[in-house]
Amino acid sequence: MRSLGDWLAWIEKLHPRTIELGLERVAAVLERMGLRHPPFTVLTVGGTNGKGSTVALCDAMLRAAGYRVGAYTSPHLIRYNERVRVDGVMATDAELTAAFERIEASRGQTPLTYFEYGTLAALDVLREKDVDIAVLEVGMGGRLDAVNAVDPVAAVVTSIGIDHTAWLGPDRESIGREKAGIFRENVPAVCGDADPPRSLLDAAREVGARLYLLGRDFEAEPATNGWNFRFGARVRTGLPYPRLRGAHQLRNAAAALAALETLTDRFPVTQAHIREGLVTAFVPGRFQVLPGAPTVVLDVAHNVEAARALAETLRQHRVAGRTLAVFGMLIDKPIAEVAAVMRPLIDEWHVAVLDGARAATAEQSVQALKQGGVDRPVACHAGAHAAFEAARHAAGAGDRIVVFGSFYTVGGILAHLDPAGSP
């Protein structure tokens, strides 16, 4: 019998492309597996940034209300099992390998990408675990993403920014239309972007979705005793700020809560459930602060919008000493632009040269930092571990280390600090 590691290695080699957008392959296999219309309710979450946090917030509030909740997210930080959770507990190796075996027995000659295999496995595990509702994170885009092969009862687009331009298009208008591909006729569609592109609004109108916009149909307002949430005529006051840090997380919380408001007939949640979900929802690698001295902040920010959110949150949580960066990005990401956003906050850069074909080399990283205007000390290290240990050696007790740039960088540090691998 293949182990989970064996399955994942085989799946990676099976399809020549890591990404091949399209719904035909995964829809055909879903049909054969009896999963084209899953026996559980589906809430789909897409967007450029904030997807994982919004999934976690929906998941936590629904679980607080007593529902059996499945969640599917990607990518993982340490272990593949993180991608599929039921009631907050990761899927086991045995559950995932059994799902892969059922997929293999059903797919025939249909080729599947790594992500398509993972999406099918997640849906299969969630069916086996008999969940009431599944909160599914879109992998990339929306319209042609494997998650979009199943129909949701509500869909959320958290934000629209510039990322994955080779597949989704060069600007927010192109990307917005792709993100809006998860909308359905007469199905609630929540947008948490305060300034959505016209293409998203047009796509929602064309498909006949029931669109709810941040700032028009729902909003979050800071108050003296927490924050207030308005959804149409309904107002919830005195809500606690999310455990997830940053002003952007309030927007994610508002989008999550708006989605649940549209489901209130099927999955009602009370004020107490909402409060519990807000203060318990947690996602590793999203402004995750590790205790001790120096302070360590981990954030998977890997595009310009995410870097701006990270920079804003760092300014809100200042330290007396210096801020040192442990920074590693992939070559197909906007390294110079991200560096330019973070440059005013960083006193010393420790570049992690990652493994893999997509990793930026030391020379490419240094050149990109220069293009981004970085004029502070820069040192390159072979891998995230070495970069982190160098930063930790250089940092004083009053300093701060910020690890960011990719899931690989943050995941590498989390695995280094917790070899047991449970983020």
Domain residue spans of the chain: 4-280, 288-417
* pLDDT of the residue at 171: 86
pTM across the whole model: 0.95
Among the CATH numbers 3.30.565.10, 3.30.830.10, 3.30.43.10, 3.40.1190.10, which is that of 4-280? 3.40.1190.10
Give pairs for 227-236: CB < 8 Å, separation 24+: 229/254, 229/257, 231/257, 231/258, 231/261, 234/261, 236/271, 236/274
Domains 4-280 and 288-417 share a fold: no
Indicate the SS3 state at residue 15: coil
Topology of domain 288-417 in CATH is Protein-Tyrosine Phosphatase; Chain A (3.90.190)
pLDDT the model gives residue 419: 65
Predicted confidence at residue 141, as pLDDT, reads 79
Tokens of 225: 């005793």
- DSSP letters, 161-197, are -S--HHHH-SSHHHHHHHHGGG--TTSEEEE--SS--
Q: What is the pLDDT of residue 212?
A: 99
Burial of residue 318 (CB within 10 Å: 0-12, 13-18, 19+) is exposed
Q: Which residues contact 122 (CB under 8 A, 6 or more apart)?
A: 70, 72, 83, 84, 99, 136
Running along the chain, 423 residues long, what does each successive block of 10 average in pLDDT? Answer: 94 73 90 98 96 98 99 97 98 98 96 95 99 96 92 97 68 91 98 96 98 98 95 97 95 98 98 98 97 95 95 95 98 96 98 92 97 97 97 97 97 86 59
C-alpha pair distances (Å), 153 with each of 72, 134, 184, 322: 16, 11, 9, 48
In contact, 117 and 103? CB cutoff 8 Å: yes
Peptide bond into 38 cis (omega under 30): no
